Amino acid sequence: MDYHPEVLFDELTIKNRIAELGAQITHDYAGQEIVVVCVLKGAFVFCADLIKEINLPIRLEFISLSSYGDKTASSGEVKKNLDITGKIRGENVLVVEDIVDTGLTIETLFRDLSSREPRTMKLASLLFKPEKLKADVDIDYLAFEIEDQFVIGFGLDYAQRYRELPYIGVLNQA
Ligand code: PRP
């Protein structure tokens, strides 16, 4: 296994882009409060950095969904491992994802959260891979669009490895 994956986006590039997204979110929700729903596990690094760039009152919630298991392709079945603990009825919800690939995770999550009647619901994602998209997904705040390659680091894993890398890399499988 390659433990020095090729760099796709380096730390500074990511930091600068997250600062831009944070400023945009701060502007768009001016005068309001938001509930940030961080989709575990992959989004935890992006979410931690993003909320520091949002200059608004935030309530943070976590939800855990998974569909990849230890594979590089989606199983097509989205499993909820952990739910948020707070109420979101009447709130401005900002869902924070690490990547939208087939879009099945976010489609499933939006259906679930919508049924709890938030006031508004938007999506921020670190990455978007349009090639495999199967669902109707709008990303309101996107850091980077990428080609169809398996990316790791900055929270993203392959078989639970590489999440700790401070950059986004590409896994070169032998
Ligand atoms: C990854 C990622 C997204 C989802 C995107 O989660 O974090 O939630 O897949 O893929 P999709 O658009 O094809 O549904 P994963 O199942 O790997 O769980 P993890 O976040 O715990 O690593």
* Long-range pairs of 27-33 with CB within 8 A, sequence gap ≥ 24: 29/56, 29/92, 29/94, 30/56, 32/56, 32/92, 33/57, 33/58, 33/59, 33/91, 33/92
Residue bearing the CA closest to ligand 1, atom 14: 105
92 lines ligand 1 (CB under 6 A): no
Q: Which atom of ligand 1 is nearest to the CA of 39?
A: 8
Model confidence over 103-118: pLDDT tens digits?
999 999 999 999 999 9
Question: Which residue has tokens 């939006």?
Answer: 110
Model confidence over 41-57: pLDDT tens digits?
999 999 999 999 999 99
The CA distance from 117 to 121, in Å, is: 9
Residue bearing the CA closest to ligand 1, atom 16: 66
Q: What is the pLDDT of residue 68?
A: 72
R_g of the chain, CA atoms, integer Å: 15
151 lines ligand 1 (CB under 6 A): no
108 CA to centre of ligand 1 in angstroms: 12
Q: What is the pLDDT of residue 1?
A: 55
CATH of domain 11-149: 3.40.50.2020
